[in-house]
């Protein structure tokens, strides 16, 4: 598998799934631009582990208005400096907060606002900016990291997360259908639990979470990285618009 033709911006790449995606893409020859929110030290460590295949580090708080468009514009400028047109986007960054409908009003309102800003508005703005450039280039790739919750919903105290990821999945399908004529390929991943910092640590919760997974364990970040790298490779363009479930058969459609 060869990704030497790929120059990709990966959001939320300072740790966990995003870092694994960046490393795997670079392993196959892609040039990567890493986005992070505030943890510069972790982002630098990921960049160092990748070496010269990492061509840039960018910080942007995706909860802020216009952050997605600003991030894409900065990534394009970095790509120009290394003579590598930006032709890949992986929307990986995301947050999950409690938005309990039975909780207090402030928690509900603040949680929905932050989650929608980071999980939906920023990725949508990034996709929009990418689509404009991709139409000119007649080529481009978008991968949106959604969630099992996009399809089956989530627990009652996390409705905003499920809604944001469900909307992102619908956006991905729309892009795949509407922009294919412009040479754009768009894919979605819908993982269940991934073995990252966001996974439960309470023993009882952890036990229950794993009990519903027939395979018996959470997905590993390296699995997500490998699948993203494959989708960026152009080895199966007819899969555009597809959603790839990575959940150990805990939700089979």
Instruction: Please calculate the CA angle 127-240-126 and round it to the nearest 5 degrees.
Output: 5
CB 164 within 8 A of CB 176: no
Kindly give the residue spans of alpha helices, DSSP state H, lying in the chain: 16-27, 40-50, 67-81, 105-116, 122-137, 149-152, 159-179, 203-211, 221-232
* Phi, psi (deg, nearest 5) at residue 97: -125, 155
Annotated active-site residue in 28, 36, 134, 161 = 161
Distance set, CA 119 to CA 47, 68, 162 (Å): 24, 11, 10
Is residue 79 over pLDDT 90?
yes
* Confidence at residue 104, expressed as pLDDT on a 0 to 100 scale: 95
Query: Average pLDDT in the 57-82 region?
Result: 97
The predicted pLDDT at position 205 comes to 82
Answer yes or no: are the C-beta atoms of 3 and 232 closer than 8 Å.
Answer: yes
Q: Are 15 and 197 in contact (CB under 8 A)?
A: yes
Respond yes or no: is residue 36 known to be catalytic: no
With beta carbons less than 8 A apart as the criterion, state whether 42 and 66 touch: no
Residue 88 binned pLDDT confidence (cut-offs 50, 70, 90): very high
How far is 139 from 149, CA to CA, in rounded Å? Answer: 30
Where are the chain's structural domains? 7-245
Cα-based distances in Å from 114 to 17, 70, 107, 233: 21, 18, 11, 33
Q: What is the pTM of this model?
A: 0.96
Of 3.30.56.10, 1.50.10.20, 3.40.50.2300, 3.40.50.720, the CATH number of 7-245 is 3.40.50.720
pLDDT for 221-234, tens place per residue? 999 999 999 999 99
Mean pLDDT, rounded, of the chain: 96
Burial 163-179 (b: 16+ CB within 10 A, else e): bbbbbbbebbbebbeeb
Each residue's pLDDT tens digit, 37-66: 999 999 999 999 999 999 999 999 999 999
Cβ atoms within 10 Å of 125's Cβ, excluding its own? 19
Polymer length in residues for the chain: 253
192 C-beta neighbours (distance < 10 Å), count: 21
The H or E element containing residue 36 is strand 31-36
């Amino acid at each position: 598998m060869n990704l030497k033709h790929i120059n990709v911006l990966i959001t939320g790449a300072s740790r966990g799934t995003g870092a694994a995606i960046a490393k795997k893409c670079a392993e196959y020859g892609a040039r990567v631009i890493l986005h992070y929110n505030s943890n510069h030290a972790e982002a630098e460590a990921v960049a160092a582990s990748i070496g010269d295949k990492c061509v840039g580090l960018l910080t942007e708080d995706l909860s802020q208005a216009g952050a997605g468009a600003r991030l894409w514009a900065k990534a394009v400028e970095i790509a120009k400096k290394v003579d590598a047109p930006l032709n890949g986007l992986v929307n990986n960054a995301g947050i999950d907060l409690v938005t309990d409908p039975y909780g207090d009003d402030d928690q509900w309102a603040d949680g929905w606002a932050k989650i929608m800003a980071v999980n939906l508005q920023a990725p949508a703005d990034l996709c929009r900016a990418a689509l404009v450039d991709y139409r000119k280039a007649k080529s481009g790739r978008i991968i949106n990291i959604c969630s099992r919750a996009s399809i089956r919903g989530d627990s009652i105290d996390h409705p905003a997360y499920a809604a944001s990821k469900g909307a992102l999945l619908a956006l991905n399908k729309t892009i795949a259908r509407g922009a294919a004529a412009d040479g754009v390929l768009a894919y979605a991943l819908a993982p269940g639990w991934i073995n990252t910092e966001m996974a439960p640590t309470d023993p009882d919760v952890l036990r229950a979470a794993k009990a519903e997974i027939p395979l018996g364990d959470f997905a590993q970040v390296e699995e997500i990285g490998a699948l993203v790298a494959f989708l960026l490779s152009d080895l199966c363009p007819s899969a555009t618009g597809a959603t790839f479930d990575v959940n150990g058969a805990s939700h089979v459609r």
